[in-house]
Structure 1
Amino acid sequence: MKYQKINKVTIDAIQIQRQNINEVMVFVGSEPLIADEHNKFIDEIESKGLYVQTLE
């Protein structure tokens, strides 16, 4: 299936990886995580995935 986007939109993005999770938290406007929260959050993302809500 082909997909064509009619309106071109420029977005800022960051790739979520285990080693840059605090950078990701700052990117989305949250406080960096403490060590215990860091591992729990990463494990949850890896097991359940992550939903990103956009305007479109």
Structure 2
Amino acid sequence: MKSWSPYALLVIIAIALDQWIKQLVENGLAFQEKVDLLPFLALFRTYNTGIA
């Protein structure tokens, strides 16, 4: 069971990072407004109500 602890820590960090990024997007991006990062890359906030 001791060998699981690094993996458990990695999973906890990944979940925490995911939730933090979701909060940043919810608070910082307007719905369906494009934010250009590079000429070929943009951020776009939307919702997927289906299976992702």
Into which bin does the TM-score normalised by the smaller protein fall?
0.3 to 0.5
Q: Which has the higher strand share?
A: 2
Q: Which has the higher helix share?
A: 2
TM-score (norm 2): 0.35
TM-score (norm 1): 0.33
